[in-house]
Structure 1
Amino acid sequence: MTTSHMNGHITEDSDSEAKNVDLASPEEPQKHREMAVDCPGDLGSRMMPMRRSAQLERIRQQQEDIRRRREEEGKKQELDLTASMRLKKLAQIPPKTGIDNPIFDTEEGIVLESPHYTVKTLEVEELLTSLKHIQHILVDPQSQEDISLILQLVQNTDFQNAFKIHNAVTVHMNKASPPYPLISNAQELAQEVQSVLKPSHHKDGQELNALLNAPHMQALLLAHDKVAEQEMQPEPVTDEKIYENVGVYGGETVKIVRIEKARDIPLADMHGTLTFVLIPSQQSKPPPAKETVIHVKAHFDYDPSDDPYVPCRELGLSFQKGDILHVISQEDPNWWQAYRDGDEDNQPLAGLIPGKSFQQQREAMKQTIEEDKEPEKSGKLWCAKKNKKKRKKVLYNANKNDDYDNEEILTYEEMSLYHQPANRKRPIVLIGPQNCGQNELRQRLMNNEVDRFASAVPHTTRSRRETEVAGRDYHFISRQAFESDIAAGKFIEYGEFEKNLYGTSIDSVRQVINSGKICLLNLHTQSLKTLRNSDLKPYIIFVAPPSQERLRALLAKEGKNPKPEELREIIEKTREMEQNNGHYFDTAIVNSDLDKAYQELLRLINKLDTEPQWVPSTWLR
Structure 2
Amino acid sequence: MSHMNGYVQEASGQAKSHRERAVDCPGDESSLVKSPHSSAHMERIQHYQEELKKRREEDSRGKHDIDPNASLRLKKLSQNPKVGIDNPTFEGKEKVTKDTFLQDPVAGELRGEEGRTELAELLQALKWAHHCLTDAQSQQDVELIMQLLAKEDFKNAYTIYIAVSQQMTRVIPTSPLTAQAEDLCQEVQKILQSSQHKEGLELNALLTNPHLQAHDSVAGQEMAEESLTQYIGETVKLVRLEKARDTPLGATVRNDMDSVLVSRVVKGGAAEKSGLLTEGDEILEINGTSIRGKHVNEVHDLLQQMQGTLTFLLIPSSQIKPAPHRQTVMHVRAYFDYDPSDDPFVPCRELGLSFQKGDILHVISQDDPNWWQAYRDGDEDNQPLAGLIPGKSFQQQRETLKKTITDRSPEHQGRLWYAKKNKRQKKKSTTTLSRNIDYDDILTYEEMSLYHQPANRKRPIGLIGPTNSGHDELRRRLLSIEPEKFAVAVPHTTRNSRIHERNGREYHFVSRPGFETDLAAGKFIESGEYEKNLYGTSTDSVRHVINSGRICMLCLHTRSLQVLRSSNLKPYVIFIAPPSQERLRSLLASDGKTPKPEELKEVIEKAREMEQNFGHFFDATIVNMDPDQAFHELRRLIDKLDTEPQWVPTSWLC
TM-score, reference length from structure 2: 0.49
2-side partners of 1:497 and 1:614: how far apart? 38
State whether structure 2 residue 512 is matched by structure 1 residue 512.
Answer: no
RMSD, aligned CA: 3.2
- Which residue of 2 is the match for residue 314 of structure 1? 350
2-side partners of 1:571 and 1:374: how far apart? 30
2-side partners of 1:592 and 1:489: how far apart? 37
Cα drift, residue 259 of structure 1:
2.9
- Which residue of 2 is the match for residue 362 of structure 1? 398
Match of 1:336 among 359, 372, 384: 372
Cα drift, residue 286 of structure 1:
5.2
Q: Are 2:529 and 2:535, in contact at CA under 8 Å, matched by a contact in 1?
A: yes
Amino acid at match of 1:323: D
The 5 A counterparts of 1:47-58 are none
2-side partners of 1:488 and 1:545: how far apart? 35
Amino acid at match of 2:165: I
Q: Are 2:115 and 2:162, in contact at CA under 8 Å, matched by a contact in 1?
A: no
Q: Are 1:256 and 1:276, in contact at CA under 8 Å, matched by a contact in 2?
A: no
Amino acid at match of 1:422: A
Cα drift, residue 558 of structure 1:
0.8
State whether structure 2 residue 278 is matched by structure 1 residue 372.
Answer: no
- Which residue of 1 is the match for residue 165 of structure 2? 259
Q: Which moved more, 1:595-604 or 1:556-565?
A: 556-565
Match of 1:348 among 384, 387, 390: 384
Asked which structure has the greater CA Rg, the reply is 1
2-side partners of 1:324 and 1:591: how far apart? 25
Q: Are 1:255 and 1:278, in contact at CA under 8 Å, matched by a contact in 2?
A: no
- Which residue of 1 is the match for residue 114 of structure 2? 239
State the secondary structure of the residue aligned to 1:543: strand
Change beyond 3 A, Cα 1:480–1:258: same
Amino acid at match of 1:514: N
The 5 A counterparts of 1:278-317 are 287-317=323-353
2-side partners of 1:255 and 1:522: how far apart? 78
2-side partners of 1:437 and 1:242: how far apart? 91
State whether structure 2 residue 335 is matched by structure 1 residue 460.
Answer: no
State whether structure 2 residue 616 is matched by structure 1 residue 583.
Answer: yes
Amino acid at match of 1:239: E
Deviations along 1:144-188, one digit per CA (max 9) or x if unpaired, are xxxxxxxxxxxxxxxxxxxxxxxxxxxxxxxxxxxxxxxxxxxxx
Deviations along 1:539-568, one digit per CA (max 9) or x if unpaired, are 000000011111111111111111111111
Match of 1:325 among 348, 361, 382: 361
Change beyond 3 A, Cα 1:557–1:239: same
Cα drift, residue 346 of structure 1:
0.6
Q: Are 1:297 and 1:323, in contact at CA under 8 Å, matched by a contact in 2?
A: yes
2-side partners of 1:255 and 1:507: how far apart? 78
Amino acid at match of 2:361: L
Q: Are 1:255 and 1:277, in contact at CA under 8 Å, matched by a contact in 2?
A: no
1-side partners of 2:231 and 2:398: how far apart? 53
State the secondary structure of the residue aligned to 1:536: coil
Cα drift, residue 463 of structure 1:
0.5
Q: Are 1:256 and 1:277, in contact at CA under 8 Å, matched by a contact in 2?
A: no
State the secondary structure of the residue aligned to 1:482: helix
Amino acid at match of 1:290: R
Aligned structure 1 segments of 4 or more residues deviating by more than 6 angstroms: 277-281
Amino acid at match of 1:592: M
Amino acid at match of 1:259: S
Aligned length: 340
The 5 A counterparts of 1:84-483 are 239=114, 257-259=163-165, 287-373=323-409, 375=411, 408-483=441-516
Deviations along 1:295-338, one digit per CA (max 9) or x if unpaired, are 00000111111111111222111111000000111111111111
Amino acid at match of 1:308: P
The 5 A counterparts of 1:512-551 are 512-551=545-584
Q: Are 2:400 and 2:439, in contact at CA under 8 Å, matched by a contact in 1?
A: no
2-side partners of 1:437 and 1:255: how far apart? 80
State the secondary structure of the residue aligned to 1:258: helix
Amino acid at match of 1:554: L
1-side partners of 2:372 and 2:643: how far apart? 32
Amino acid at match of 1:258: V
State the secondary structure of the residue aligned to 2:164: strand
Cα drift, residue 241 of structure 1:
7.2
Q: Are 2:458 and 2:549, in contact at CA under 8 Å, matched by a contact in 1?
A: yes
Deviations along 1:396-445, one digit per CA (max 9) or x if unpaired, are xxxxxxxxx99821110000000000000000000000000000000000
Amino acid at match of 2:372: W
For structure 1, the residue ranges without an aligned partner over 5 or more in a row are 1-234, 263-273, 378-404
2-side partners of 1:496 and 1:371: how far apart? 34
- Which residue of 1 is the match for residue 187 of structure 2? none
Deviations along 1:74-105, one digit per CA (max 9) or x if unpaired, are xxxxxxxxxxxxxxxxxxxxxxxxxxxxxxxx
1-side partners of 2:165 and 2:517: how far apart? 84
State the secondary structure of the residue aligned to 1:567: helix
2-side partners of 1:588 and 1:535: how far apart? 23
Q: Are 1:259 and 1:275, in contact at CA under 8 Å, matched by a contact in 2?
A: no
Amino acid at match of 2:164: R
Deviations along 1:7-29, one digit per CA (max 9) or x if unpaired, are xxxxxxxxxxxxxxxxxxxxxxx
Cα drift, residue 369 of structure 1:
1.4
State the secondary structure of the residue aligned to 2:333: strand
State whether structure 2 residue 599 is matched by structure 1 residue 566.
Answer: yes
For structure 2, the residue ranges without an aligned partner over 5 or more in a row are 1-109, 119-151, 169-229, 238-315, 414-437
2-side partners of 1:613 and 1:275: how far apart? 49
Q: Are 1:256 and 1:275, in contact at CA under 8 Å, matched by a contact in 2?
A: no
Q: Are 1:298 and 1:413, in contact at CA under 8 Å, matched by a contact in 2?
A: yes
Change beyond 3 A, Cα 1:285–1:423: same
Q: Which has the higher contact order (CA 8 A, sep 6+)?
A: 2
TM-score, reference length from structure 1: 0.51
2-side partners of 1:257 and 1:368: how far apart? 62
Amino acid at match of 2:400: A
